Structures are given as structure tokens and as C-alpha cells.
Amino acid sequence: MTRTKKTYPIAMAALLLSSVALAGCGTDSGKSGTPASTSEASAKAPGNDKDKDKLDPVKLKMYVIGAPQGDMKMVQEEMNKYIKEKIHAEIDITQIDYGDYTKRMQVITASGENYDIAFTSSWAFDYRQNVAKGVFLPLNELLDKYGQGIKDTLDPRFLAGTKVNGKNYAIPVNKELAQQFVWRFNKKYVDKYNLDTTKVRTLEDLEPLLKKVKESESKDIIPLAVPKGFKAYLPFDYLFDDNIPIGMAMNTKDFKFVNMLETPEMKSSLKTIRGYYQKGYLREDVATLEGIDNMKTGKWLVDREITQPYAEKGWSRSAGYEIVTSAMHEPIIYTGSAAGSMHAISANSKNPERAMMFLNLLNTDKKLRNMIQSGIEGVHYKKLSENVIEDLPAMKERYAMPGFALGNMFLTYLHADEPADKWDAFSKFNKSAVVAPTFGFNFDPTPVKTEVANITNVAKEFMPAIYTGSVDPDAYVGKAMEKLKSAGMDKVIQEAQRQFDEWKKSNP
């Protein structure tokens, strides 16, 4: 889910995998990464003292992403008993499946419905686009008054990275903040051929491993198992989805956006991946391959994914065989990664204060946070200790919730096979991250929206084949460049640079 910043399908796959067991967060600036205790959080949460009795009862409407679950009503009834005690409110949650979420929310928003809270992100129900349309309410004042627990718990870089024109319009989920791509290896073949994965970092480093498996295994074993969304990692901070080759070098000195097809890094990468394709390391249909079932079949050596601490455990558990990884680069914090999972309050909400109170609870109250994710004790899970649970069949069958989309992950229970230092590892992961040069910058494409649409169409036409080595870059990059320029790529770069330079004056 990409070089890193915005490969949404891959990012989404990583998020889905980590939904219950692996999503996490980190902290900075002296924050420990461990949330306040439930009692401490309750003491800080507005509406939790005697004054709550002065609040009129309200019902909040909330939309969340994820496949609708059969036991949602049952769990919601239990949650509402608890929420009433805290803030004199009830919550009415509607789940919308991943593939339908953006379109359904666009229709709901266009209808003028006065819902209260909705999931938004950099990859679903697009945060920046909806801010530009006035769909979401500015939250700074509400945060100061009713969301102090959120501010005390959340890594401040989440809020800094998701500001638009100095204002926050959504509350990021407290989880992993940094992004890091890794090569994932099927350990079966690593062990079988005694392959050294520890020194594999670049696309070029893969060559001897791919060659060995290609020469030694049957044709149905895919050495480099990737779909059409694959792009080699390049040290650039992308302006858009990385299908569009506009970016700023990670080690930039002049802070200039460039056409990446003109850079030596891109040219070298395309030459390498073309060679791999010609040698049969990738599937012949990779340029049109929407997805790949290598995890299910086990007939692969290496693919690429976004990681987080202990991700190998979750991947291995899901696959049913062992997976090991090697990092492509250090963890990096992008604007897009800060906005990977968020909750916004609708501009049409009739109860924005109470909505913020609820979000504050969701991010500070351990009982509520675990109830919305894991359901009811004894029905959906059983406790093995105070902070460790075991899923019961009902959870998998009727209440498999997307934990990454539900609020502060640091409050969630662990499973027995998860390490006790999981959250500390996430904190260290984020603290070790470097900050991308455009972190906090949110490009407004409105002045060049026609050109953006045009270059997006050109990128869809050319880049999947070029990025996967399916065509000769010497023959096709020139054609793509010509069409991109005719579609207005230079104008988009100029506008992005103008906006960035203005933003940079206030954000040195």
C-alpha cells in the first residue's frame, strides 16, 4: 500500500492484516507510547464527572469502514450502556465494506445527512478532498475543550502531519506512524537454498536469490511475486499516488519537485526490473495482474510489503508457514502515513461536542476501546490474563472488526502469541524514523485539477507496464514522458512547487 507514501492497495492490505493483532502506534517528544490507565483517562475525559448529568441524552451516528459484522447490534447495546454512564450518549454504528466505503460515503455526504463521525484516510473517503469540499468540521477548539485525553496520548506528529491550512479536521488513530517497506521471503525456499537475505536491501540485491530459485524450481514457483501495483522503492517523497512520477528527493537540499522519470535513480531501477522480467522472475501478466494469491499457494520466493514491528508473526500466522523480511530503507514519516486511519466529525453534525467526547473516550478508555474491537468477554473472547485474550469462534464468525480503524491501538489487548513489549517496539520504530521533506504539506490540486486528472489517466495507461518491466523502458518512457507533458505535468509541478514554497515559509 509504493514507495511508501500512498500505495493505497498495498497499504490497505497491510492494514487489514494488522487489524486485530498487529496494528500499533508510536510516540515522540517525551511521550512513552503507553496510554494513560483507564482510571487516569476517565479522570481527564470530559463528561465523566458529576456534570455529565447536566448533558441532554443524544444518539451519535458513526460510519466505519469494514465488512458488516453479525454481532454489531449486540456489542453496540453493551457499549451504549457504558457510554451513557460516561457522556449521556449512545452510538449508532454503520459498517460499510472496504470496496464500497468511499462511494457510499460520497452519496451520504451529498444527501446532507447529519451524521456525526466517519472514518476517513489518505486511501478511503479521501481526507484532503473532503476537507477542501467542506465536508468535515475543524476540530482544534473541540480538541482543546473536549479532547485533551487525545492530545495527551497521541504522538503530536499525527496532528501536525494532518493539518490543512493550520487546522485539524480529523483525529488520527494512534498506531504506527512511520512507514517502511520490506522484502518478504518465503522461508521454505530461503532455507532450502541457504539464501542470505540479511544483506538484501535494493532491487539489485535480489538478483542472485531470484536466479537460484528460477533455475532450481518448477515453473509454477514465482521468484518475484508481485501484482501490477509493484514499483521498486526509490528514495523520493511522492506528491501523489506513486503511479504519478512526481516527487522530491528524500535527501533534497533545494526542496524541488521533479519529474522522476528524468532521474538516474528511476532510470537504473527500470533497467533492472526490465532485466528481471525478461529472465522470467515475474509473471508474464504482471502489468495487468490485479492481485496475486502467493500467500495462499506458498509458491513464491519474495514479494514486497509495508511492515511494522513483529509483522512477520502476523504474516506467518495468516499464511500458515514462516515468513522472514529484510528492510529496504529506514522507517519514514510521510504526510500520507499520518493520515492512514482517522475519524472526522461531519460539518452537518448536530452534536459535535458530544462526538468529540466520544472520540476522546475511544482513544483513552480501555474498556470501551476493547469492547468495540473485541466484542463481549465470554462471547467473543476469553481473558487469559489481565491484558491477554484468546479469540472465541464467535469473534471470527460474527465480530471480526478492523482494529486499525477503531481508535487508539495502544489500549487493545494482546493475543497469547504476541510479545509483551509489542507497544514499546512500535514506539521505538516510530522514534527511529526520519521525516520526509514534505511532511505536513497538503497539496491543493484545485488550481490544476484538469491537468491532474489528465496526467492520472496517462499514468494509468503507461506506468504499470513500465514499472513492472513488462515493456522496454528505452522505447516506452519517452512515449510516456511526451504524453505526460502534453497532459500538463510541468504545470502541475510548477503549481505544487509554488504551494510548497509558500507553505515552507511558515514551516521551515
Residue 224 near residue 281 (C-beta atoms within 8 A) = yes
Residue 300 has pLDDT above 60, yes or no: yes
Summarize pLDDT for 12-59 with one digit per residue, the tens.
333 333 333 333 333 333 333 444 444 344 444 444 444 666 789 999
Reduced to 3 states (helix: H, G, I; strand: E, B; else coil), residue 95 is strand
Architecture of domain 181-233+260-334: 3-Layer(aba) Sandwich (3.40)
Calpha distance 225→487 (Å, rounded): 33
Burial of 335 (0-12, 13-18, 19+ CB in 10 A): buried
Q: How many Cβ atoms sit within 10 Å of the Cβ of residue 401?
A: 23
Q: Which amino acid is at 197?
A: T
Q: Which amino acid is at 93?
A: I
**Angle 411-412-414 from CA coordinates, rounded to 5°:** 130
Residue 6 near residue 229 (C-beta atoms within 8 A) = no
Per-domain boundaries in the chain: 8-177+337-435, 181-233+260-334
Calpha distance 210→251 (Å, rounded): 30
Q: Do the domains 181-233+260-334 and 8-177+337-435 match in fold?
A: yes
Q: What is the CA radius of gyration of the chain?
A: 23
Residue 250 has pLDDT above 80, yes or no: yes
Q: Give me the pLDDT at residue 241, please.
A: 74
Residue 433 near residue 178 (C-beta atoms within 8 A) = yes
Calpha distance 330→353 (Å, rounded): 40
Q: Where are the beta strands (DSSP E) in 102-206?
A: 117-120, 163-164, 167-168, 171-172, 181-186
Does the structural domain 8-177+337-435 have CATH classification 3.40.190.10? yes
Ramachandran angles phi, psi of 41, nearest 5°: -65, -40
Residue 145 near residue 187 (C-beta atoms within 8 A) = no
Residue 353 has pLDDT above 70, yes or no: yes
Least confident of 88-97, 193-202, 313-322: 313-322
Cell of 225: 511475486
Q: Per-residue pLDDT averaged across 272-284, rounded? A: 98
**What band does 424 get if pLDDT is binned at 50, 70 and 90?**
confident
Residue 5 has pLDDT above 50, yes or no: no
Q: Per-residue pLDDT averaged across 207-222, rounded? A: 96
Q: What percent of the chain has pLDDT over 90?
A: 77
Ramachandran angles phi, psi of 340, nearest 5°: -70, -20
Q: Which amino acid is at 10?
A: I
Burial of 245 (0-12, 13-18, 19+ CB in 10 A): buried
